[in-house]
Amino acid sequence: MTVTVTDLSVARGGVRVLEGVSFDLAPGAALVLRGPNGIGKTTLLRTIAGLQPPLSGQVEAAPDSLVYAGHADGIKPTLSVRENLSFWAQVFGKKDISAAVEAFDLGALIDRPGGLLSAGQKRRLGLARLLVTGRAVWVLDEPTVSLDVDAVAMFARVVRAHLAAGGSALLATHIDLGLGEAEVLDVAPFRAAKMDMDDFDEAFL
């Protein structure tokens, strides 16, 4: 279940931001995207997740193998932790949420409504969603925002277990997760070249 990205160009707000991005993500591997703010990491991840079409290039992945987690966790404030998790499990055709609850230490919070969770707890719940989906390729945008040191270690353990089980992960993050085996891809060199000002094609790009 290798994800292959070939010569991908992506645009944000009608402006080409990255071009010529190519990489392979094999089972068991993790790839960390780095680059300055605004370079287009989020846009790249959203394109790979299929939320927006690429300008050019291809993303090849087995159908139904990706799961995406963005900046927002999609937690409903009026539903309990259990209800939030079960909902996503059902959407992905799964039932069991106990492994996810245990991995992110949510047992004590299981009946608390989502609205009463702290930012870090919400993030943990959002990341626990990845486990209940049963998908092999995780596409994660800044997964460690608002996590404390312990929770980051917890997350790194979960990712490592996921990789060991044959999964893979594509992450955009600034902090060091302590995933020694992860490759790092700096996207700064892929920044789209500024085109000649008179050179408008039909698509105004």
Contact 1, 165 (CB under 8 A): no
Residue 17 beta carbon to other proteins: minimum distance, rounded to whole angstroms: 7
Which range of residues in 51-59, 103-111, 154-162, 172-180 is near other proteins by CB under 8 A? 51-59
Spatial distance between the Cα atoms of 187 and 62, rounded to a whole number of angstroms: 24
Neighbours of 79 (CB within 10 A): 15
Q: How many residues of this chain interact with other proteins, rule: CB under 8 A?
A: 41
Residue 23 beta carbon to other proteins: minimum distance, rounded to whole angstroms: 20
Q: Does 204 bind other proteins (CB under 8 A)?
A: yes
Q: Does 41 bind other proteins (CB under 8 A)?
A: no
Binding residue (CB under 8 A) for other proteins from 1, 55, 79, 145: 79
Q: x/- site string to other proteins, residues 128 to 167, per CB under 8 A?
A: -x--------------------------------------
Residue 158 beta carbon to other proteins: minimum distance, rounded to whole angstroms: 18
Residue 91 beta carbon to other proteins: minimum distance, rounded to whole angstroms: 5
Measured CA to CA in angstroms, residue 72 lies from 63, 78, 93, 164, 204 at distances of 24, 16, 22, 27, 31
For 204, phi then psi, to 5°, come to 60, 35
Q: Does 117 bind other proteins (CB under 8 A)?
A: no
Measured CA to CA in angstroms, residue 46 lies from 52, 85, 111, 161, 191 at distances of 6, 22, 32, 25, 17
